[in-house]
Amino acid sequence: MLVDALFAGKPQAFGPRQSPSSIIKQPFEQLHIEIDGAVEDEQGNKKLHGGPEMAMHQYSQENYELLQKQFPTVAHKLVFGSIGENISAGQMNDNNVFIGDTYRIGSVVLQVNSPRAPCVKINQRYGAKNMDLFIAEHGITGWYYRVIETGFMQIGDAINLEHRLQNTRCISDIMRLVRSKDTCIAEKADASKINGLAAEWVRKLNK
């Protein structure tokens, strides 16, 4: 697996309220990664985005294909990088990426810690009603990383899986457990104990 594209952005007025957002990102050849994420990437709302537990976001290229089919009138807008991710790479998706997975990319080491909870800004980004709900319902949210080792990554870098937990869950499974009203409490409680799961998602599973 290789890094196909990297993205970062600065806050700008966005949406009907013209509130600051960094969902619109620009392509970069290389990113400098610190504990809070890419130096080149700034968050518009630091209460809801960014920080060590949401340092980097990756979105599956396969997910864009699903969204293009479901929302054909805005398919031309659904290009890699447009949903606000930092990393784009093939062969990685919400079903084969697991909580606790540790990847080395360039000189950086990242650990998967949670899905990305989709918000209304996604609808505003594309002008598509309920796209955020479709993403959540189908478990195609992408995932957040925390930074284990800082450094640099660039396009073409190999993405090497260095460690995977024995007892873990994939990203789409965590999303299913959080959203389902029929999931048994014991199953949710078991998932909440996965080593490395972000604290916010531990709380969601224990509700």
Q: What is the pLDDT of residues 38-88, one digit of tens each?
A: 999 987 555 556 689 999 999 999 999 999 999 999 999 999 999 999 999
pLDDT for 24 equals: 85
pLDDT (tens digit, 9 = 90+) per residue, 84-98?
A: 999 999 999 999 999
166-186 core/surface letters (b: 16 or more CB in 10 A; e: else): eebbbbbbbbbbbeeeeeeee
68/79 Cα distance (integer angstroms): 9
HSE-up (13 A, CA, CB side) for residue 86: 30
Superfamily of segment(s) 5-166: PK beta-barrel domain-like (2.40.33.20)
| Mean pLDDT, the chain, integer | 93
Q: Are strands 151-154 and 30-34 parallel, antiparallel or unpaired?
A: antiparallel
Which stretches of the chain score pLDDT less than 70? 13-16, 18-20, 44-50
pLDDT for 46 equals: 55
| Domain boundaries of the chain, sorted by first residue | 5-166
34/146 Cα distance (integer angstroms): 10
Task: Using a cut of 0.75, tell me whether the model's pTM lies above it.
Answer: yes
Determine the distance from the C-alpha atom of residue 4 to the mean position of all C-alpha atoms in its chain, rounded to a whole number: 16
92/81 Cα distance (integer angstroms): 15
pLDDT for 147 equals: 98
CA torsion through residues 149, 22, 158, 136, sign:
positive
pLDDT for 31 equals: 98
